[in-house]
Amino acid sequence: MSHRYSIPFIFLLCAAGIGLGMQSPKTSEENSEFRWLDSSSDTAGVKYATHQLRPLSVQFVAGAPVKIEREEKKLDPQTTRVTSRTFSTAINGERQLMETVVEDIKKAPSGAMSAVRTTSRPDINGRMSVARKETQEVVSSGADTYRITKTLLLPGINSALVEKEHIQQIEKRKGDTFVEIDRTRYELGLDRKWNVLDRRVSQNRLGEEQIQTDEQVFRYDVNNQLSLAQQLKINEWKDAAGQRHLQSDSFAPGLDGKLQLNSRLTMVQRPLGNQRHET
């Protein structure tokens, strides 16, 4: 059985804003649905929901409006294929395929999950070619502990896919209101060995109305030593009016080596009714 969805976009694609509210798993409960690990910013749980709000991510789309068609198909009892196709409309009215994303998601009876996501775009000859491929595995590695591994492959010589980045994230729940996340990102060096790019360690205290996160970011310094390069303090809470707030403070070492406030991000999400929110 397959399901198709058609989503029109006019000027921009936005990961947060005015739209349908997404239901997150309850605090510290295991998430049974597959979720891709996002390594673009601070740590976020894959198996354990550690954030209700995420920073806005806006991508402006130049040119003609685009339309996304999404199809979901069951390949077997354990595997689901999700295909998303992005189309644009040329000046002459002809519809053109801009991008195809195919995700094969497998859930084993043991609870382990794996997925492959392949993104294809037109090459210089107009033929659809693989632009990137991602693989991810989620497995239990102990009591209330999960290991998530994600690998990025990009075209290399003769368009052959080559591993470029590897991420490992360990999520451990301690009690009902505490989750620790340890994420390390690697890149493949010229010697074909994986080298550490950075490491993020966060402690997440989860409550029904408030979430507090302390995160430390380690990178290599001029002495080639992995040292503290950034610290984040993130607070999320819900007020009496039902609005959700986020404040993220970023600290970086100053000339004296002491951590100093470097930037502050604030967000407010207001409920609009009918599961819609404004951020």
Round the CA-based radius of gyration of the chain to a whole number and report it: 21
The mean pLDDT of the chain is 85
Q: Is the pLDDT of residue 15 over 90?
A: no
The amino acid at residue 265 is L
Q: Is the pLDDT of residue 69 over 60?
A: yes
Q: How confident is the model at residue 56 (pLDDT cuts 50, 70, 90)?
A: low
Q: pTM for this structure? A: 0.82
Report whether 86 contacts 121 (CB < 8 A).
no
If one compares 18 and 249, the residue with the highest pLDDT of the two is 249
Q: How confident is the model at residue 149 (pLDDT cuts 50, 70, 90)?
A: very high
Report whether 146 contacts 47 (CB < 8 A).
yes
If one compares 40 and 198, the residue with the highest pLDDT of the two is 198
What's residue 3's pLDDT?
62
Q: CA 149, CA 37: separation in Å to the nearest integer?
A: 9
Q: Is the pLDDT of residue 146 over 90?
A: yes
Cβ within 8 Å of residue 152, ≥6 positions away = 132, 133, 134, 163, 164, 165, 166
* Closest C-alpha among 131, 71, 125 to residue 99: 131
Lookup: tokens for 191: 């010697």
What's residue 269's pLDDT?
86
How many other β-carbons are positioned within 10 Å of the β-carbon of residue 137? 14
Q: Is the pLDDT of residue 264 over 80?
A: yes
Q: Average pLDDT, stretch 159-173?
A: 95
What's residue 17's pLDDT?
41
Q: Is the pLDDT of residue 11 over 60?
A: no
> Is the Cα torsion angle 21, 26, 32, 34 positive or negative in sign?
positive
Q: Torsion-angle region of residue 275: left (phi > 0), alpha (psi -120 to 50) or beta?
A: left
Is residue 248 exposed (0-12), middle (13-18) or buried (19+ Cβ within 10 Å)?
Answer: buried
pLDDT tens-place string over residues 171-205: 999 988 999 999 999 998 888 889 999 999 999 99
- The DSSP letter of residue 21 is P
Which stretch of 87-91, 137-141, 151-155 has the lowest confidence by average pLDDT?
A: 87-91
Q: Per-residue DSSP letters for 152-174?
A: EEEE-GGG-EEEEEEEEEEEEE-
Q: CA 128, CA 135: separation in Å to the nearest integer?
A: 20
Is residue 234 exposed (0-12), middle (13-18) or buried (19+ Cβ within 10 Å)?
Answer: buried
CA 110 vs CA 58, 72, 138: distances in Å: 37, 23, 11
pLDDT tens-place string over residues 220-244: 888 888 999 999 999 999 888 888 9
